[in-house]
Amino acid sequence: MDLLTNDTEEIIAHHEMITQLKKRIEIILKNYRPVMDGEIYLSGEDVCRLLHISKRTLQQYRDDNILPFVQIGGKIIYKESDILTVLEQNYINQ
């Protein structure tokens, strides 16, 4: 029976696999958006990244009633389906 140490190839391979799994789990957790009643809600940062706009432009879209939103206390969130609907309604086919 062989002695397993931290320098053993088998242990090194398992350590690398665990490290890769940890990185994948961190990415999944970072991008995970829970579903509430079948709807995904996005933060302002998520919407800015999705639409490639600044926070100021997002604020203007709210002020101009372009994007619907939900405000609970000081927190503002957006239904993903509402964002997609607005995009479809404003689609211009050339």
Q: What are 3-47's pLDDT values in tens digits?
A: 778 888 888 899 999 999 999 998 888 777 777 788 999 999 999
Is the pLDDT confidence value at 1 over 70?
no
What is the spatial distance between Cα 84 and Cα 88, in angstroms, rounded to a whole number?
6
- Look up residue 16 and give its amino acid: E
Contact 42, 80 (CB under 8 A): yes
What tokens does 30 get? 């970072």
Question: pTM score, two decimals?
Answer: 0.64
pLDDT band at 89 (very low <50, low <70, confident <90, very high): very high
